[in-house]
């Protein structure tokens, strides 16, 4: 469960009754302990970040002084071009690292949202079974219990889906602060501010199953080998197996 969900539960708990206090005191106590531990880790990470930023600023000053000294000692155009190349390579490496960090955060956010969508999808399935009355009495009682539990958790499962703020890693922030020539385009931004529907999630799951199908190689017959006008392009390898592109037809040249 995310930190935002835990804080939302604790905020709602402040309006509890005395009967609920005896029933859920242990669970709320564990939740408060988890939140305190998370806050402690965040505070420690903030201190480490400040120390690292100070060290990085010092390293940047040293690298700038070395660059200016190398440029002053450069004797011809070739040496200056080599210095420019080294500086450009350093910026490129920093941009790659920032993009890698952004993608890691984006994957983490997507996993949290997929987990929330799976639980919402389960809530929809249980509700459909109860509405259609597709089970006997014993199963119906069990479904009703699961329905009540998931319904109580539904609002907290929607919290990760409502967080549409852009994700920027610490490496990207440092790149912008420390004289990055241009802000990195957020190519990994997947438009998470859009509203997700259950049907869209089901369609995505169906497409994933279709992608997992096995592609068998085509059978080449002697007749197709004799036909020189048909050229079969080479096979390509993808994440889902060996694939063959569409057949290309070679047309004869036009004689003017």
* Strand partners for 237: 242
In contact, 21 and 29? CB cutoff 8 Å: no
Q: Is residue 119 part of a domain?
A: yes
**60 and 106, same domain (yes or no):** no
Residue 46, token pair as written in the block: 């903030």
Residue at which a domain ends, from 73, 97, 118? 73
pLDDT top residue among 109 and 220? 109
pLDDT at 81: 92
What rounded mean pLDDT belongs to the chain?
A: 70
Whole domain around residue 94: which residue ranges?
84-180+199-211
**205 and 230, same domain (yes or no):** no
**90 and 110, same domain (yes or no):** yes
CA dist 243 → 207, 208, 250 (Å) = 17, 17, 21
**220 and 207, same domain (yes or no):** no
Q: Is residue 186 part of a domain?
A: no
Domain count, the chain: 3
Residue 20, token pair as written in the block: 């609920």
Confidence at 2, pLDDT banded by 50, 70, 90:
low
pLDDT at 1: 59
What does the pLDDT look like over 162-209, one tens digit per residue? 767 777 888 888 877 765 544 444 433 333 334 334 444 455 555 555
Q: Is residue 44 part of a domain?
A: yes
Q: Is residue 134 part of a domain?
A: yes
pLDDT at 182: 44
**173 and 99, same domain (yes or no):** yes
**135 and 207, same domain (yes or no):** yes
In contact, 106 and 167? CB cutoff 8 Å: yes
**If you average pLDDT over residues 53-80, what whole number do you get?**
89
**127 and 138, same domain (yes or no):** yes
What's the rounded Cα separation, in Å, for the pair 205 and 182?
A: 38
- Give residue 55's Cα distance to chain centre: 30
Confidence at 247, pLDDT banded by 50, 70, 90:
very low
**65 and 89, same domain (yes or no):** no
What pTM value is reported for the model? 0.49
Residue at which a domain ends, from 50, 73, 96? 73
**66 and 112, same domain (yes or no):** no
Residue 230, H or E segment = strand 230-231
pLDDT at 8: 66
Confidence at 69, pLDDT banded by 50, 70, 90:
very high
Q: Is residue 194 part of a domain?
A: no
| Least confidently predicted of 86-90, 91-95, 170-174, 239-243 | 239-243
Confidence at 252, pLDDT banded by 50, 70, 90:
low
Q: Is residue 124 part of a domain?
A: yes
What does the pLDDT look like over 222-245, one tens digit per residue? 454 444 444 444 444 444 444 444
pLDDT at 85: 92
In contact, 30 and 9? CB cutoff 8 Å: no
Q: Is residue 16 part of a domain?
A: yes
What does the pLDDT look like over 100-154, one tens digit per residue? 888 888 888 888 888 888 888 888 888 888 788 767 777 888 888 777 777 777 7
């Amino acid at each position: 469960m995310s930190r935002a969900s835990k804080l939302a539960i604790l905020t709602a708990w402040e309006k509890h009754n005395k009967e609920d206090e005896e029933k859920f005191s242990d669970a709320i106590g564990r939740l408060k302990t988890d939140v305190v531990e998370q806050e402690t880790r965040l505070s420690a990470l903030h201190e480490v970040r400040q120390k690292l930023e100070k060290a990085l600023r010092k390293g940047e000053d040293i690298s700038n002084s070395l660059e200016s000294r190398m440029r002053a000692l450069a004797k011809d155009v070739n040496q200056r071009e080599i210095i420019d190349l080294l500086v450009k390579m350093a910026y490129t490496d920093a941009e790659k690292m920032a993009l890698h960090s952004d993608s890691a955060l984006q994957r983490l956010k997507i996993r949290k949202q997929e987990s929330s969508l799976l639980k919402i999808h389960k809530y929809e399935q249980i509700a459909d079974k109860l509405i259609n009355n597709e089970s006997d009495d014993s199963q119906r009682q069990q479904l009703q219990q699961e329905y009540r539990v998931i319904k109580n958790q539904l609002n907290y499962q929607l919290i990760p889906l409502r967080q549409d703020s852009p994700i920027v890693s610490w490496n990207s922030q440092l790149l912008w602060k420390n004289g990055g020539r241009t802000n990195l385009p957020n190519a990994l931004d997947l438009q998470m501010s859009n509203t997700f529907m259950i049907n869209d999630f089901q369609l995505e799951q169906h497409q994933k199953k279709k992608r997992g199908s096995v592609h068998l190689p085509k059978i080449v017959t002697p007749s197709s080998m004799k036909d020189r006008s048909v050229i079969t392009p080479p096979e390509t390898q993808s994440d889902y197996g060996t694939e063959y592109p569409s057949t290309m037809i070679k047309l004869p040249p036009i004689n003017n």
